[in-house]
Amino acid sequence: MAIEKLSSEQGLLHYLIKKVRPELASKISESKTIETMIVGLGRQGTRHAQLMMEYGTDVTCGVAPGKGGRTVHETVPVYNSAKEAIIEHPNIAIASIWRHYSTAKDATIEVIRTGIPIVVLISEFIPLKDVRDILVVARKYKTILFGGNTPGIIFPPEGIKVGMLPDIFQAEQKEGKIGPKGVTILSRSGAILYHLSDALASAGIAQNGVLGVGGDGAIGSRFVDLVSLVMNYENTDLVVIAGEIGGMQEELLAQDMLSHPEKYPKPIVALISGANAPEGKTMGHAGAVVAPGQSYGTYSSKKEALEKADVDVVNHQRDLIDTVKSKLNRIYFKIDDYYKKMSDKWNAKPPEKTWGTLITNVMPNNIMIRGYPLQEIIAKKGLLETLYLLQRGEFADTEEEIIELEKIAKNAIREEFPNYDGVPKSPDVSKMLGTFLQIDKRLSNYASSVSDESKVVAYTLGRMVKYLAIIQDNLEVLNSVKDTDVSFADLIYLGLVGEAQPGSLKVRLLEAMITACVDHGITPPSAQATLVLSSTRAPYEIALSAGIQAITDVHGGAGQKAAEFFLSVVNKSKEKNIPLEESTFEMMNSAIKAGKRIEGLGHRIHTQDPRKDILWQLAEEAGYAKDCVTVSKMVSDVLFRVRGMNLPINVDGVIGAITADMDIDPKLAKAIFVFGRTVGLAAHYYEEINTQPQMRRLAFDKVIYKGHSIRSVE
């Protein structure tokens, strides 16, 4: 439940950052964003990262050794180390540590050394010798360290939470807007911290910061370190400390107040827990133990010391409310509004569980690949450039990166494929391609040994060209090409069609049709089949094979039948010497009366397929917009005359028409679709294994596009 926010540079958190790293605070003032990092992505760290984001926190990245290159919650990149993360995200201001106590020291020290100003150490039970080492480094870097054993920190006005505290919404309401003023609460106990926050809110007392300092015996920032710091923030009107028996935090604070009263210009109210605890009794925190025979650390010693420093000490929430109200003589928001907000929150239905994809956003009459309209990609980019975009989220910065992918794809064609002879031939290209993927040991070895996923997909496309050349009996002519200057696009044409030196326009047109088919989101059966196997962590080539074999005449196979229909219309026009429109009408009328389906028409999402116009345009420019393309442009109108139905031509129909006019075997229309869709299926495979838990329940109707907003192809 994200809330209305105070601008980031106006709140207490920005003030704390400015005290430690003024240069970073200046950048935050410009960006209006406070970036955070989460270190340790086990069950708790991953879950609370999601809850922090839902509250409004900008979780910029995560750190988990061995998991670098993946993402969590679909949008949060993961790095192997904090050092690696800070290079990519230099403006991170807060890090939270969720590592086991055995590895918490090294993780925390690494984070501190990156210069991140505020570190929240959630981990508990950290050995004292490790805490000592952490504190030495924290002092050197002037880091504000909360914890260990802290539930976290929350800044309600800014809508920022770091840690595991329940959501807190008690911010000042000023003329209908969030204001920065309020009380700052510091507590050693997480449970008490939240109860105090709620108690004050019930009296209309806003909080600009709710800070868990940590419950262990040795922690990073004590009351004496923090109280004067937050008190000097101009919008803090009063400080509440929630102490407990054990240790000397409260006594040290009282001593400093007596010695340096000028550092404490505002009122303090303290609540001390453990009034009736016997000596030596552990109260839950490592620090909440009264040492037997000592004159410090007891409830009485803390109360006496604080009262000498003119601090009001209470031991009940009711007394706390009364005392704070008397000191402030004001309320910050309407109490009824607070109760209504909390009632609405608790009575609200749980949010619908969804999941996200960053790859493709399919909308009526528009397909966005990583934010780019697919029709623009078809017009301006090649297949390998599109592959790079699908895998990495952006187009390549340099031409050399695409040249490297092309080299990999071409080498994959040249490599032997000795074990295909025993595979029974089938007229179904999807079945043959899927089988070849499963038995190709070179592909399997490459996919399992190469970490760069875009290279794996490029290699896969090269192998697919070889498979198609085998299926089309074009392997001999493909192998005869020795010129290394021949482009990968030329080799695709040669492998599919078997025509040498077809001309650059013809090659570009085929590549455009392939690119038009790269992806259509996660709803097609091919994508869903790939995702199901990806979720079980099936090998790359097996999941890809499943997706490709799900491309049947029902899904993805309409292009061949559309091409055959368009050719029959053109032939009838010539035989009977009648106009194409009349021939189209007669053929469609006969087919419909016979109960036959006209393939290549209709779409479950688009009323106008966004890919059709650019493909027709490219066919025109290449000189292959002939009779079949003409029929494809009129077929929807003719169907309306015949049947009274508005069915738009889809990409299968357009590809069928163009391939027919190019005098290409109609069955290659399906091969074009499968070849292109391989790129998208690979992207979905890697996104699933890199961002989602294994063996999850795949609710395909609950997916939400979380990727880049619309942008134009340069």
Task: Round to whole Å and give the CA distance between 396 and 394.
Answer: 6
Query: Which residues touch 551 (CB under 8 Å, ≥6 apart)?
Result: 430, 525, 526, 557, 670, 673, 674, 677
- CA 433 – CA 244 distance, rounded (Å): 69
The structure tokens 């919650």 sit at: 73
Give the tokens for residue 435: 């089988």
> Other C-beta atoms within 10 Å of 103: how many?
14
- Which of 464, 518, 456, 511 shows the shortest CA–CA distance to 487? 511
State whether residue 161 is helix, strand or coil.
Answer: strand
Q: Which tokens in the block code for residue 524?
A: 């097609």
Residues assigned a catalytic role: 285
d(CA 303, CA 300): 5
How many other β-carbons are positioned within 10 Å of the β-carbon of residue 62? 25
Is 7 within 8 Å of 30 (Cβ atoms)? no
Based on its alpha-carbon atoms, the radius of gyration of the chain, rounded to whole angstroms, reads: 33
What's the angle, vertex CA 296, arms to CA 291 and CA 297, rounded to 5? 65
In the numeric block, the tokens 């909308």 are attached to: 363
Q: Is 213 left (phi over 0), alpha (psi -120 to 50) or beta?
A: alpha
Quote the CA–CA distance of 251 and 167 in Å, as a whole number: 31
Tell me the two tokens of residue 616. 């027709």
Q: What's the start-to-end Cα distance of the chain, in Å? A: 38
Contact between 297 and 272 (Cβ < 8 Å): no
> How is residue 605 annotated by DSSP?
S
Backbone angles phi, psi at 72, to 5 degrees: -120, 150
Q: How crowded is residue 18: how many other Cβ atoms within 10 Å of its Cβ?
A: 17
CA distance 61 to 76: 5
How are beta strands 152-155 and 207-212 bridged, if at all? Answer: antiparallel
Question: What is the DSSP annotation of 242-276?
Answer: EEESSSSHHHHHHHHHHH-GGG--S-EEEEEE-TT
Please enumerate in sequence order all residues whose Cβ is within 8 A of that of 65, keeping only pairs 6 or more positions apart, or say none. Answer: 80, 81
Q: The tokens of 81 are what?
A: 């180390």
Residues constituting the chain: 714
Strands 76-79 and 92-97: unpaired
DSSP letter for each residue of 46-69: HHHHHHHHHHT-EEEEEE-TT-TT
Dihedral of alpha carbons 653, 659, 662, 664, sign = negative
